[in-house]
Structures are given as structure tokens and as C-alpha cells.
Chain A
Amino acid sequence: MILQTRGLCKRFGGVHVARNIDFGIEAGEIHCLIGPNGAGKSSLFRLILGAHQPDSGTILFKDEDVTRLPPFARIRKGMSVKFQVPGIFKDLSVRQNLVISFQHHLHGHDLEATIQRVVAFAGLEGLEGKAAGTLSHGRQQWLEIGMAVGVEPSLLLLDEPTAGMSPEETRQTGEMLRVLNAQGVTILAVEHDMSFVQQIADRVTVLHFGEIFAQGSVQEIISHPGVADIYLGASDD
């Protein structure tokens, strides 16, 4: 297991966003986190990152307890994240975005080579000098994925990576993630687009009211009667 949570609990006032969550991600898999709105997907995501502190429970990353570490320290240990709303530096150039993302572990020719590689990977050739905020929505998402993968993370966390993308952009993003996964990156994606989940996921965890409702392969989840009730049935009309 590259990441494990044990008995993770978090409340905001009277709302339990995480109830006793025991959750794990195997190294090398693409794991999708699904569930209806308000199920606690984003909260679990933020707990894993350290943006929220749990009320109780522990988080192990590569067998090390990271529960009390601030987000930047978890990133330094090999996590990397892409947010739902493009978390890029909009007024800075694409190139500057990438330089800032990679400069703490790469310098000189290595930095340059990585920037070129990521630019090609994210389909941003010829746009290096453009202000990132002027790119199309899909390209902004890809730029952020590029920023997240250039650091060669062992665990890539994606919060709705295809939000706001066209079907074609969504398909390309799926291919992008498959390529990354083949290169050895473990991926955890919060997602609600089931066709996208079917395209990429090795395993799926379903959250409901802050609890793990079901877990298994895509086929198991799709054929799970309860899941269809709480989630798929509700959104598949």
C-alpha cells in the first residue's frame, strides 16, 4: 500500500465529512473515488493532502505517518496534486508555471529537459510564452496536470481532472493518465463522470455520507445494487 488511512474522522460542526475511514491505495493502480455530492470525496482528498487536519485517525504514506505534516511536506515526500478549479498561476507564462513547479528539485539542463518533456506531454507546444490564464479551459487543466507530474510523484492526486472538459478533451485526459500510470505513477482521482471512471480506473471506492459504501473493480461497482441506488441511479437518467 502506498497510502493508507486508519479510522479517519472529520467533522465540520454537526456534519461528519469522514466517518472512520479505512482506505488504501495499492502502488501502481489508478483508483477512483466516487459518490454523490456531499459524500465526502473532496474532504477525504483534502485530509490526505493535509489541507484539513483529521479529528482522529492516521494517514500513512509509504508506511510513514504523515498525519501531522503540513501539505508542503507531504508534497516533498512524493505526493502531487491537481485541483478541480485549475490551480495555476494565471498571470504567469506557461513556462514560468512549469519552472516554479520543478525548480526545487531540478536545475539547469535537467529543468529545461523536463519542461520540454512536460510541454510535449501536455500538448502545450508553442504556448510556453503565453499567460497561463489565456489558455483554453482544457489546456489549463492539462498544464496543471503537467505541473503535477513533472515532479515525478509516486502518488498523483486529481480532484475532478475532467471538470468542464469536452468529451474529446476528457478522452485525451484519460489517455494521458494511462500513459502516466504505465510509467509507474499511482493515481487517486476524485471523479463523477462514470464513463471516464470506466475508461481509467483499476479500482473504485464509493463514498456515501462520509463513509466507505463500497469498494471494488469498476465492474463490481457498476453491478453493485446499492451503488446504483445511491449514485448511479440518481445520476443516470
Chain B
Amino acid sequence: MTGQGKSGPGVGPSLIDATPRQQRNTLALWLSRLEGPQTMGRGRGFWSVLALAVLAAAIYPMFVDGWTVGNTAYFLVWTFMAMGLGVIWGYAGSLSFGQTAFFGLAGYGYGVLTLNFGAAYGFTLVALLLAVGLAVLLAVVLGYFMFYGRVQGVFIGIVTLSVTLVFQAFMAQTAGPEWAIGAARLNGFNGMSGMPPLTIPWPGGDVLLYADIALYYVLLGLMLVVYLGLRMLLNAPFGNVLVAIRENPERAEMLGYDVRRYQLLGFVLGGALAGLSGVLYTAWGQYITPSSMGITAAALPVIWVAFGGRKDVTATLIGTLAMIFLYQWLTIYGSQYAIVAMGVILVLTVLFAPEGIVLSLMRWLSARLTPAGGRP
């Protein structure tokens, strides 16, 4: 099948074709909401593979040391920003080049809050929500002026990139002692550090989520929840409208949809997910610097999502994890080379698989696995 629903959802073995008897089964009904024309992967085959992948990810910490698991957790940190960019760019058709603005704002927000108020009584979790709330606020304001001001196409990329670069430039000049919010020094180009990790209050002693096995499991669970949640949302009427706007905004408006409102909602969702990544990144390494909002940082998510396949959340997720792994592996040989390699991969993707390399492979695979005329 295709991410754009080139064939009707009524064909082929699928959970969505639940018989009336099965539909009475609440579980089957919920599962059916995970499938639809806006996401690839359906039926027993897909969900079995996904279950195996989750199982492998769950037992993986048993076979490696804690440091490596903590490093793998770092990969997971970025997936939220990537999936959010997939929603804005791949589904709603507006390329944001500045997701790092939300990432950085929420990351700094978490730092300022926790450096001032500490980690007791589960405050880090409150700080996480407040910091993501800051990102949402920025997305609402920025998105309102862009979409209700009818900013379109490449200009959305330019505006969002400008915003993240302004943030970076601003934070980079906050080195002096006068740049402090309460107890939190902003520290200019060196960035902010020393904030507590996420801390879960627990009877008999708080659980501190340092870059280790516990954090890995929390992030894995969170990633799974966000991924499945996005699948439901994108296959729900909301996702249909986003895709309609991407394909033909005028027609979407003339079907009675307030296009600007849906674009704004998609943008805010993407901003919230980028903010979540920012908080998790800050809590994972207990630092954040202005370079996390710089042009390289801003370009990387675009490359991950383009490589994976922006029009399908599964392809985005797989592609992002693969690219971050590759990037880190290449960095061993020199970070400049790694950036050049990312650029080369982007060019190759655009030339040979403009819909995304992972997505193209998934389509090829599903065409091979599906009998002619059917749909996986």
C-alpha cells in the first residue's frame, strides 16, 4: 500500500476490516483505529513485526552495559521532534526549519525551572510539562501569525529558521552574570548545566533517571505511546484534513475546513513534540547549549525526516533512529565528516527517493509481500 492511500482501505486482510462480531470487541476496535490510509503497516504481519521489535528493544539492556543503554536512550530522545516534524511537514505540507526553537526553549525552560526549584516532590515532571507548555505557547503565537497571516510554502521554512537562529544568537550572548533567571545562570555559549535529571517520586526513595537503563525504558515507553497515539490521530478525521491541506489547500477550504486552524493545530503538536525532545535531551545529559538551536541542529531533523519518509510516521521513526545511529558512528571519525555525510545522504535521498528512502523500501517490501491487486 501507500502512505497516501492509493488503494481503498477495504481491501486485503486488515484489522480495519473487523467483522461485526469482532467490532463488538473493544480491543479490536481500538486496534482498528491504529490503521488507516494515512499510515503504512497493517494487519497481523505488521503488528507481529512491531511486537517483536518492541520485545527486542525491551530485552536489549540485558545484553549490554548501562553506559551503552544510556547512549541508546539518547537516540530515543530525538524521535519525538522528528515525528512532530513529520506531522507538520509530511502530513500538513508545511516545512518547518525551526523545530529546534521549540526544542531549545523547552530545554532551557526545564533547566531554569529545575535549577530554581530542585527535583523534590516530583517537580522535574511538573517542570517537563511547564517547559513543553512554553514550547506550545511559542508555537501558538508563531503559528498564529504565520498561518493566519497566510504565510505559505518556503516562507514557513524561512520564518521558522530565522526564529531558531535568533534564539541561538540571543542565548549565545548571555555569558555575563547579569543573565540569570533566579538561581539559573544562562552562561552564554557554554550553555546551562547541572540541572537534575527527571526524578520520579517513589515510596522508599525517588527514582533518578540518569542516562541509564531506567531512563531508557521510560523513553522507550514514551516513544511507543507517542507513535501509536500519532497513528490514531493521523488516521482520524484530523489526519485526513491535514493530508487534504497538503494535497490541495483550496479544495480543503472549499470543503468547509478552516485550513489555518488545522495548520496551526498541526504546528502546535509538532512544537510540543520538539519541546518534549528538548526537555528529555536536557534531562538526559543535564546540559543544554545555544548550539542546539543553531543551523546544523535545525537542519538535522529535516534530513532525518526526509531520509525516512515524511509522509509516514513509521518511516520517519525508523529513518530517524537509523540516521542518528549513523551520525554518532560517523562522528567517531570526526564530526565535520559526519555532517558532510548527512548532506550527501540528503542529496541522494532527494535524487533517488524523494519520498524518503525508508518509505520507498517499505512500499517496495509491501508490494512484494502482497498478492497482486491487494493491499498489505
A residues within 8 Å of B by Cβ? Answer: 49, 51, 70-73, 75-76, 81, 83, 87-96, 99-101, 103-104, 128-131, 147, 151
Subset of 14 A-B contacts with CB under 8 Å: A51-B250, A83-B251, A83-B254, A89-B243, A90-B248, A92-B37, A92-B243, A93-B6, A93-B8, A93-B37, A96-B5, A104-B255, A129-B7, A131-B4
Main secondary structure of the interface of B (DSSP, over half): loop
Q: Smallest distance from the beta carbon of B313 to chain A beta carbons, Å?
A: 17
A129: chain B residues at CB < 8 Å are 6-8, 10-11, 375
Q: Are A93 and B248 in contact (CB under 8 A)?
A: no
B204 interface residue per 8 A CB criterion: no
Docked complex Cα distance between A184 and B172 (Å): 66
Q: Are A96 and B251 in contact (CB under 8 A)?
A: no
Q: Which residue of A lies closest to B311 (CB)?
A: A91
A128: chain B residues at CB < 8 Å are 8, 10
B253 interface residue per 8 A CB criterion: yes
User: Which of chain B's residues 235-283 have a Cβ closer than 8 Å to chain A?
Assistant: 237, 240-241, 243-244, 247-248, 250-259
B240: chain A residues at CB < 8 Å are 96, 99-100, 103
Q: B275-293, CB under 8 A of A: which get 1 and which 0?
A: 0000000000000000000
Docked complex Cα distance between A91 and B243 (Å): 10
Q: Are A76 and B256 in contact (CB under 8 A)?
A: yes
Q: Are A89 and B8 in contact (CB under 8 A)?
A: no
A90: chain B residues at CB < 8 Å are 247-248
B9 interface residue per 8 A CB criterion: yes
B residues within 8 Å of A by Cβ? Answer: 4-11, 37, 237, 240-241, 243-244, 247-248, 250-259, 375
- Other-chain residue from B9, B255, B258, B375 in contact with A101 (beta carbon distance below 8 A): B255
Docked complex Cα distance between A72 and B249 (Å): 11
B8: chain A residues at CB < 8 Å are 93-96, 128-129
Question: Known: A89-B248, A92-B5, A129-B11. Contact between A147 and B243, CB under 8 A?
Answer: no
Question: Known: A87-B248, A89-B244. Contact between A75 and B254, CB under 8 A?
Answer: yes
Q: Are A72 and B4 in contact (CB under 8 A)?
A: no
Q: Smallest distance from the beta carbon of A62 to chain B beta carbons, Å?
A: 16
B6: chain A residues at CB < 8 Å are 91, 93, 129-131
Q: Are A75 and B248 in contact (CB under 8 A)?
A: no
Q: Which residue of A lies closest to B373 (CB)?
A: A129
B253: chain A residues at CB < 8 Å are 70-72, 75
Q: Are A72 and B7 in contact (CB under 8 A)?
A: no
Q: Which residue of B lies closest to A91 (CB)?
A: B4
B248: chain A residues at CB < 8 Å are 87-90
B9: chain A residues at CB < 8 Å are 95
Q: Are A91 and B37 in contact (CB under 8 A)?
A: no
Q: Are B254 and A87 in contact (CB under 8 A)?
A: yes
Q: Are A72 and B243 in contact (CB under 8 A)?
A: no
Q: What 7 A-B pairs have minimum CB-CB distances, sorted nearest first?
A: A129-B8, A75-B256, A129-B7, A89-B247, A87-B251, A95-B8, A128-B8
A101: chain B residues at CB < 8 Å are 255
Docked complex Cα distance between A104 and B252 (Å): 12
Q: Are A93 and B5 in contact (CB under 8 A)?
A: yes
Question: Known: A89-B247, A100-B241, A104-B237. Contact between A72 and B37, CB under 8 A?
Answer: no
Q: Smallest distance from the beta carbon of A110 to chain B beta carbons, Å?
A: 14
- Looking at B5, B10, B252, B257, the one whose CB has the most chain A CB atoms below 10 A away is B5
Docked complex Cα distance between A93 and B244 (Å): 12
Q: Smallest distance from the beta carbon of A158 to chain B beta carbons, Å?
A: 12
- Other-chain residue from B4, B11, B255, B256 in contact with A92 (beta carbon distance below 8 A): B4
Q: Which residue of B lies closest to A104 (CB)?
A: B256
Q: Are A104 and B4 in contact (CB under 8 A)?
A: no
Q: Which residue of B lies closest to A134 (CB)?
A: B6
Docked complex Cα distance between A87 and B9 (Å): 22
Docked complex Cα distance between A131 and B37 (Å): 12
Q: Smallest distance from the beta carbon of A50 to chain B beta carbons, Å?
A: 9
Q: Which residue of A lies closest to B256 (CB)?
A: A75
Q: Are B5 and A147 in contact (CB under 8 A)?
A: no
- Other than the given A49-B254, A71-B254, A91-B6, 9 more pairs (CB < 8 A) read A72-B257, A72-B258, A73-B258, A89-B243, A92-B243, A93-B6, A100-B244, A100-B252, A104-B257
A76: chain B residues at CB < 8 Å are 256
Q: Are A72 and B259 in contact (CB under 8 A)?
A: yes
Docked complex Cα distance between A76 and B255 (Å): 8
- Looking at A91, A95, A96, A101, the one whose CB has the most chain B CB atoms below 10 A away is A96
- Looking at B10, B248, B375, the one whose CB has the most chain A CB atoms below 10 A away is B248
Docked complex Cα distance between A99 and B8 (Å): 11
Q: Smallest distance from the beta carbon of B355 to chain A beta carbons, Å?
A: 11
A130: chain B residues at CB < 8 Å are 6-7
B244: chain A residues at CB < 8 Å are 89, 92, 100
Q: Are A87 and B256 in contact (CB under 8 A)?
A: no
Docked complex Cα distance between A147 and B244 (Å): 13
Q: Are A100 and B258 in contact (CB under 8 A)?
A: no
B251: chain A residues at CB < 8 Å are 83, 87-89
B4: chain A residues at CB < 8 Å are 91-92, 131
- Looking at B8, B241, B375, the one whose CB has the most chain A CB atoms below 10 A away is B8
Docked complex Cα distance between A91 and B6 (Å): 7
A88: chain B residues at CB < 8 Å are 248, 251
B241: chain A residues at CB < 8 Å are 100
B375: chain A residues at CB < 8 Å are 129
Q: Which residue of A lies closest to B261 (CB)?
A: A72
Docked complex Cα distance between A208 and B247 (Å): 35
- Looking at A71, A76, A90, A129, the one whose CB has the most chain B CB atoms below 10 A away is A129
Docked complex Cα distance between A49 and B10 (Å): 35
Q: Smallest distance from the beta carbon of A192 to chain B beta carbons, Å?
A: 22
